[in-house]
A = this chain, B = another copy of it.
Amino acid sequence: MELEQMRQLDAIARRGTISAAAEELHLSQPALSRSIRRLERELGQDLFDRTHNSAQLNKAGRLAVDHARMFLRDERAMRDAFADLSRRQRTLLVGTVAPAPVWRITALTVERFPGTLLNPVLLPEDEVERRLMNREIDLAVTLHPMILPTMGSVRLMTEDLYAFLPKDHCLASRSSLSFADMDGEDFLVLSQVGFWMDMLHRNMAHAQIVEQADRVVFEHLVRTTRLISFVTNITRQDRREIDRIAVPITDADAHVTFYLSALEDAPERVTEIFGWVRCLVEA
């Protein structure tokens, strides 16, 4: 009794005739007929009421089909379980305070580690640190190096914030701006930007900040409204065809450095990637 026979039984039940099932299974009619005969001999029961040109499932045959489908469910479950395991083993969870550093890490590693997926998890800094220690995430991106002895930290990149203003906005002619200059204005900010949102609220207590989760809608609003939005040295290029002006922000909070950290006793696939990134950014 083999799984292949179960697949054949299911196909015959679904398609109604041995011929049709044989076609579906990319098998000749005689081959399928023989295979079913073998199964019948092994079970000691005919599974079909046969005439010379038809083979209808009998009572025992329907019983066999029911069992066959149990096997096929098991097979599906096993394949799914392994596909999931495989995907999970290719995926690193990256706790991060902002999205851009993960883009950077991906760019640095994609050709050296093809197949590896970085799954960003946006979290506050203290939560990133906690989860790394608890091994709930594989890599951590924070605004400060993590100095605990069990891990390594490396300065990954800096990101500088710019106000992104309509060209005719009254602030657009300025060569630089501070948060104080903009406090009280209306803003449009993409969701899922991590610590940036908190930082904006902290520095501009009187700002009206509209948050938009859908990137397409966000882009549309940037083009069609006068709400102030933001770009960074990282995202500027992607927005360059938008008819707005990026004005640098002078506050210290608008210039941040990200640090990448990993536990030193992490699995090899983690330390390998961490080591590769460190090697690149330190060069």
Chain A residues in the interface with B (C-beta under 8 A):
1-4, 43-45, 60, 63-64, 67, 70-71, 74-75, 77-79, 81-82, 85-86
Contacts and interface: CB of A to CB of B under 8 A. Distances in A.
A63 B45 contact: no
A75 B60 CA distance: 15
Contact of A43 (B3, B45, B64, B82): B82
Given A60-B85, A71-B71, A86-B44, A78 B1 contact: yes
Contacts of A4: 2
A3 B70 CA distance: 13
A85 B63 contact: yes
Contacts of A63: 81-82, 85
Nearest to A59: B85
A68 to B, nearest CB: 8
B82 A44 contact: yes
The 5 closest A-B pairs by CB, nearest first: A67-B78, A43-B82, A70-B74, A3-B3, A2-B3
23 contacts: A1-B3, A1-B78, A1-B79, A2-B2, A2-B3, A2-B4, A3-B3, A3-B71, A43-B82, A45-B82, A45-B85, A45-B86, A60-B82, A60-B85, A63-B81, A63-B82, A67-B74, A67-B78, A70-B74, A70-B77, A71-B71, A71-B74, A74-B74
A78 to B, nearest CB: 4
A57 B63 CA distance: 35
A70 B79 CA distance: 13
A67 B44 contact: no
Contact of A67 (B2, B45, B67, B77): B77
Nearest to A47: B82
Contacts of A3: 1-3, 71
Contacts of A43: 79, 82
